[in-house]
Amino acid sequence: MSIRAHLATVAAAALVLICAVSSAAEYKGPIKLLPTKDGSTLYSLNKDSHEIAVVSVAEGKVERSIPIPGEPNDMTLSSDEKTMYVGYGDYQGKICAIDLGSGEILGEGVIGHTPRGLCVNPADESVMFACLQFDGKIAKVSLPDFKVLATYPALHEPCDAVITPDGKTYYVANFLPLDRSDGANVAAEITCLDTATGESKNIRLPNGSSSMHHICLSPDGKWVYTTAILARYQLPTTQVERGWMNTNGFSIIDAEKREFVNTVLLDDVDSGAANPWPIAVTPDNKTICVGIAGTHELCLVDSDKTHEKLASLPKNAEEAKEKGLSNATTADQVPQLLAFLVGLKKRVKLSNRTLKVKGPRSLAIIDNKAYVGMYFSDVIMVVDLKARTPKAKEFCRLGPEPEMDAARRGELAWHDATLCFQNWQSCASCHPEARSDALNWDLLNDGMGNPKNAKGMLHSLELPPAMWHGVRVNAEKAIRTGFQYIMFSNVPEETCVDVEHYLKSLRQLPSPKLVNGELSEKALRGKAVFENEKYACAQCHVGEYFTDQKMHDVGSRADYDHQDDFDTPTLRGIWRTPPYMHDGRYVDLKDVFLDGGHGDVLGDVGDMTEEEVDDLVEYLLSI
């Protein structure tokens, strides 16, 4: 090749790179919609462009944008609607106060890892509560100086929250379960914090509940609603029909009693409502609106009739028998019933042949209209809830129609349940944010009857083979067989390549265990333990990714396993993916060594002191 031709090739490659970066910078990515009380203005929190779009509801257009110093996670308004509080950033995440008139930042403070679920206490506006998603905590924060007054324990990735009108109770959605996943019951829970006493209780959802994206409160303050997947993880993955693997719905909590009521499914018998995401209730409390992110729909549920129907059911078979109701539907059966909401719900398509908009992840109700933010399309759709046949229309474009690069197309494909037979699930159903759903699944690629924990996809393309037994030569092969044998569909090769680009684009968040971005003294001691030849940790967990990419028998075979050896997983980012081992038998990483004796096959881990184990765990949760 001539020098001139070589330079031309380099220039063309550079232009492609510049265009890709430019295209990525143009994404808006609406993740939350928040209306003013009078309904005249709608604020859109745009994750990718790091801004708040101020939308005129009357004109249906963006009047101006307010920049945010980092990637936003959540926002909430002050009671006088003059100030917007925004949580942004991940490690050492902040909350800032923005003057909505001038766009000026009035103040900010470091709160913790990935602040979300922001709620100003309506009973005391000098106090705000926030979820610290990757610290696993709830923070009580003073305003306007943003000092953390107290922290309270949550469970696994607290990601969204609501506070009752009297300010007495702060309800938190924990995104994932925090159970050993080889147990009989694995489920996400809602943390209910008494704001006065600091005492909390956890309200457990039905077995298989996971990916609890959003939580809301009915305007009358009676009910808390939260969306989640209801996984049938105890069944082998032989089909997807009738929700065999995953079903999708919302759960109901009695806000006053702080008790679980029930979970109802949004799916139809032959059409899944995959990945329910935002949820809101109309001001008259009559309609529950749910954005179905995987199928790009809005589901409208008759609230009164749903609650009436639930209240009419006997609690269980024993109560039904006492009342002389043979073969009656009971309340504890409702989470299994695909037909429970027949006649009580409408599914409105947000995307159509002429307007292909994707990813409803934000929702706001103004009067009798639902406004839906489409994450991948940078557009807000509107649905007239009082129409006899509700239909979606374009309301406002937040920016130019985005030209997606390969990674963005792959991210959309990862979350797109229309690529699955009958729309029951997407890749994100078992791998939310391309990580793990904390459940064990019995995939058929290594035989039936040996369930194993869903793996995170971080660094998966750099670290062949794939799957716990290495049955796929690499992640590229696993992507293609996953669509074929788990989604039960055939997709174009271009889609699989796009998914590869998405997985390559994943970034590892800094661990909450770091101190000013560095290993703590305790973690440094743990690093020395890890590298000690006596314990032999680094013999298998070696190199940049802490894996030799080989199969080993480490004495971890369980009753249902078909073989002794397992692929050595990377240790990068394991702070984010409990439970641990191939079958998720340990919630606490410390138990991997103290109870499991992990490492005794090659080293003398049994000789570790408890202090050394503590230090080692601190190090592993820091890398």
Q: How far apart are the first and last CA of the chain?
A: 44
Digit-coded pLDDT (tens) for 306-326: 999 999 999 999 999 888 887
> Do residues 443 and 485 share a domain?
yes
Hey, which residues does 141 pair with through a beta bridge? 128, 148
In a domain, 91, yes or no: no
Q: What is the CA radius of gyration of the chain?
A: 25
In a domain, 257, yes or no: no
Neighbours of 352 (CB within 10 A): 11
| pLDDT above 60: residue 24 | no
> Do residues 574 and 531 share a domain?
yes
In a domain, 432, yes or no: yes
Spatial distance between the Cα atoms of 204 and 226, rounded to a whole number of angstroms: 12
How sure is the predictor about 482, in pLDDT bands with cuts at 50, 70 and 90?
very high
> Do residues 422 and 501 share a domain?
yes
Q: Are 158 and 175 in contact (CB under 8 A)?
A: yes
Q: Which stretches of 156-296 are assigned E, i.e. beta strand?
A: 158-163, 169-174, 189-194, 200-204, 209-210, 215-217, 223-231, 246-254, 259-265, 276-281, 287-292
> Do residues 497 and 539 share a domain?
no
Digit-coded pLDDT (tens) for 584-608: 999 999 999 999 999 999 899 989 9
Q: Which stretches of 282-324 are assigned E, i.e. beta strand?
A: 287-292, 297-302
The mean per-residue pLDDT over the stretch 57-75 comes to 98
> Do residues 493 and 580 share a domain?
no
Digit-coded pLDDT (tens) for 271-283: 999 999 999 999 9
Spatial distance between the Cα atoms of 282 and 278, rounded to a whole number of angstroms: 13
Range of the domain at 478: 413-505
The mean per-residue pLDDT over the stretch 497-513 comes to 97
In a domain, 527, yes or no: yes
CATH of the domain at 446: 1.10.760.10
> Do residues 614 and 565 share a domain?
yes
| Predicted local distance difference test score (pLDDT) of residue 8 | 37
In a domain, 553, yes or no: yes
Q: What is the DSSP letter of 422?
A: G
In a domain, 574, yes or no: yes
Chain centre to alpha carbon of residue 179: 17
Rounded alpha-carbon distances, angstroms, from residue 278 to 31, 102, 364, 375, 595: 9, 30, 9, 12, 40
Helix (H, G, I), strand (E, B) or coil at 43: strand
Using the 3D structure, point to which of 505, 529, 550 is the last residue of a domain: 505
> Do residues 497 and 555 share a domain?
no
In a domain, 17, yes or no: no
In a domain, 528, yes or no: yes
Using the 3D structure, point to which of 476, 505, 534 is the last residue of a domain: 505
Rounded alpha-carbon distances, angstroms, from residue 380 to 358, 363, 395, 408, 420: 11, 9, 6, 19, 25
pTM listed for this prediction: 0.94
> Do residues 531 and 616 share a domain?
yes
Helix (H, G, I), strand (E, B) or coil at 499: helix
The count of structural domains within the chain is: 2
Rounded alpha-carbon distances, angstroms, from residue 386 to 98, 284, 292, 389, 391: 35, 12, 20, 8, 10
Q: Are 161 and 74 in contact (CB under 8 A)?
A: no
- Widest Cα–Cα separation across the chain: 90
| pLDDT above 90: residue 351 | yes
> Do residues 589 and 614 share a domain?
yes
Q: Are 566 and 551 in contact (CB under 8 A)?
A: yes
Spatial distance between the Cα atoms of 52 and 24, rounded to a whole number of angstroms: 18
Q: Which residues of 76-108 are buried (b: 16+ CB within 10 A; e: fewer)?
A: bbbeeeebbbbbbbbbebbbbbbebeeeeeeeb
Give every CB contact of residue 8 below 8 A, 6+ residues apart in sequence: none
| Predicted local distance difference test score (pLDDT) of residue 406 | 98
| pLDDT above 80: residue 21 | no
Digit-coded pLDDT (tens) for 530-575: 999 999 999 999 999 999 999 999 999 999 999 999 999 999 999 9
Phi/psi of residue 200, nearest 5 degrees = -140, 160
> Do residues 442 and 525 share a domain?
no
Residue 224 identity: V
